[in-house]
Structure 1
Amino acid sequence: MTDAQIIATAQQVGSQALRWLHSYYDRGLGGFGDEATFDLANPNDIYKPLGEVALATGLLLREGVAGADDTRIARQVIDLAWAELREGDLLYDRQLRYPLMTDPLEVYVHFARAGYRHRPLEEQLATLNRLHSVRASEQLPSRRLASANARRVIGLDQLEDWDALAAATWLGATPEPWLIDWLTAYYVTHSVFHLTDWGARPECLSPRIRDYLRDWLPAWLDVWQEVGHWDLVGELLIVAACIGELEQGTTGWAALASAQLPDGLLPKDANTATEGDPAQLLADHGHTAVVAVVAATTTLARALGGTAGASAGAPAVTLGAPPES
């Protein structure tokens, strides 16, 4: 593929995936459907996917590389997700009850990046940011990077040693690349995402890590293309964009375009059913749609020069009132 073909394919795959997501969330699927409280019975069921949808649409709005229709659709989807979280009140309540949990911060940052702000929650996060107990809590290294990047984006005081945070990850050790497994590959991709703030800060990757990725990303893409794990292929394409190696994603983009169905559904892998109950289809393939939107957005931003760091078309600050305790 030429650069122009990569751009065209990424735009097509990402736009169709975005519209597929919109078709589900616009029908009320993917929402809580009840009076959800801070004590979520299954955070991975609805809560986590809402944050992922906000990530994809928020980045699309940040970069400003999508067309007018896709920008409008992205705004509608993130509006729906923000409403499901009671305009930040649910996040505020959950953080208040569980101060050592980082998921309210990690979900909130995707909305804040697109201009949706909740001042009481940010005041609460600023207080927690100063506590040694919170910073000393046990976390996987890639999750610690996620929290650090979220604080950076929101504008909290930076107390992080980024070199140390990177060194604590599997990627930071630049180990034997042939021993990578499925779960470790996800840790690798997320380490890159958070170190670079999804491609906005490519300079935050050390030359050693960038060279390691440049050397081994093509082989990893080949492995997961061969087994048809399209979700992980998409995540590796985001890494290619974050390090500025778009041509390494040539076969990956062609494979995703071939795997995508006419309605925009992108299977997470070659073995999961792509027909049946709509709610189950969203649960099975919603993350892959998110990944496709993010991969397309970061690829287009790197190729065309997006508006990284700016909240393109961001609404006025949206403040939810703090819930009564």
Structure 2
Amino acid sequence: MTAHEVRATREVRALGAAALAWVSAHREGFALGDDALAEHGNVNTTWKPLGELAQVCVCVRRHTDPADPLHVLASDLLSFTWQQTGRGALFVELQRLEPFATYPLEIYAAFASAGLRHAGYESATATVARTRGWHLTEQEPNRRMSVLNSERRSGLPEHEDMPLALRRTWLAGLPEPWTFELAAGYTLTHVIFHLTDWGLTPQAVPPPVAAYLRHWLAPWLDTCLEDEQWDLSCELLAVASSLPGPPDLVLFQEAWARLSVAQNDSGAVPEVGGRGSRTTAPDFIDCYHSTLMTAFAAVLTVNRLRETAGDAETAAADGGLGVPG
């Protein structure tokens, strides 16, 4: 890495570390309340934030060394989220209350991928997942991909091929770039997240889709940053870090420099707007997701930049031929 690239990498890491520190300081906002199992409870304010926290913690742990303070903090937060589920026992109750709901498995899968499992829940879900009702549930294509990836991560047979599910998505159609808008943006980011298991397997992105995204991510990201859509900007940066091949260093450096102005002194990042209000902390509900996405995108970005630097150093040591040692 050049001195400039080292400095840029450190700055991205610092943004992610500050975001994760805010999350840790506000962990009680992610705690499950008495309404988590209520008949008319709001999943979007109970289980969804907890599941998103668990997934980000899993990603941070995957891409950091066990001795890294970020890894240690993510492990602590993951333990907190697992305890909130009664070490998996609450998933059994969710299964009893909503046997054909997919969101419990989608949340549980993050824990399972980290080795945190509950045999009773997995047994009950495996029974339901064999039914025609489960296989034929009508879902948006990107949501179907989430379920398929969750089945795989939880050790259940995938009830459909991922490539088939991908072909039904907006992104796989390589649509006219000017049809990109907020809903399409969030859909395409999650298609890539589920396809690559949250950035773990960039090679899972088919070449035509990868080439399309390399061409259009930069202008889409520029538009989102200009409009102060910080949450979606972070997700697009995470996508940029989840594509096969060398990352776009200029895109990373410019985008993260622009995104840095949105981060509050506490580490929080608002979902939308708030440029320059560094001393005014947004409400939890208005910033928890974008702050999580900042940490997620930052750790993926730093990991890809370091991988790229390592590959360059190896190639240089081999006389530029890339000969394996």
TM-score, normalization by structure 1: 0.86
Give me the whole-angstrom Cα distance separating, in 2, the residues matched to 1:10 and 1:203.
24
Give me the whole-angstrom Cα distance separating, in 2, the residues matched to 1:18 and 1:178.
34
State how many pairs are aligned: 302
> Residue deviations 1:86-119, cap 9 Å, x none?
2212222112321221100111111122221111
8 Å CA contact 1:267, 1:274 repeated in 2: no
> Residue deviations 1:270-292, cap 9 Å, x none?
1598877x8x7211100011101
TM-fit CA distance, 1:10: 2.0
Partner of 2:151: 151
Q: 2:11 aligns with which of 5, 9, 12?
A: 9
TM-fit CA distance, 1:24: 0.8
TM-fit CA distance, 1:157: 1.9
Aligned residue type for 2:266: D
Partner of 1:253: 256
TM-fit CA distance, 1:33: 3.8
8 Å CA contact 1:57, 1:74 repeated in 2: yes
**Residues 1:44 and 1:197: Cα distance change in structure 2 (over 3 Å):** same
Give me the whole-angstrom Cα distance separating, in 2, the residues matched to 1:5 and 1:275.
25
8 Å CA contact 1:230, 1:269 repeated in 2: yes
Structure whose alpha-carbon radius of gyration is higher: 2
**SS, match of residue 93 in structure 1:** helix
Q: 2:25 aligns with which of 18, 23, 26?
A: 23
Identity %: 32
Partner of 1:45: 45
8 Å CA contact 1:99, 1:134 repeated in 2: no
Q: 1:302 aligns with which of 296, 301, 304?
A: 304
- Runs of 5+ in structure 1 lacking a partner? 307-325
Q: What is the RMSD computed on CA atoms of the aligned residues?
A: 2.3
TM-fit CA distance, 1:67: 5.5
**Residues 1:125 and 1:301: Cα distance change in structure 2 (over 3 Å):** farther
Partner of 1:87: 87
Give me the whole-angstrom Cα distance separating, in 2, the residues matched to 1:66 and 1:227.
37
Partner of 1:77: 77
Large movers: runs of 4+ above 6 Å: 272-276
**SS, match of residue 29 in structure 1:** helix
TM-fit CA distance, 1:69: 2.0
**Residues 1:108 and 1:246: Cα distance change in structure 2 (over 3 Å):** farther
Partner of 2:273: 270
Q: 2:284 aligns with which of 272, 282, 285?
A: 282
Q: Which has the higher contact order (CA 8 A, sep 6+)?
A: 1
TM-fit CA distance, 1:297: 1.8
8 Å CA contact 2:228, 2:272 repeated in 1: yes
**Residues 1:6 and 1:118: Cα distance change in structure 2 (over 3 Å):** farther
TM-fit CA distance, 1:65: 4.5
8 Å CA contact 1:38, 1:91 repeated in 2: no
With 114-123 and 186-195 compared, the bigger mean Cα shift is at 114-123
Aligned residue type for 1:301: N
- Runs of 5+ in structure 2 lacking a partner? 309-325
8 Å CA contact 1:126, 1:156 repeated in 2: yes
Aligned residue type for 1:151: E
8 Å CA contact 1:231, 1:269 repeated in 2: yes
Aligned residue type for 1:286: Y
Give me the whole-angstrom Cα distance separating, in 2, the residues matched to 1:258 and 1:205.
31
Partner of 1:314: none
**SS, match of residue 128 in structure 2:** helix
TM-score, normalization by structure 2: 0.86
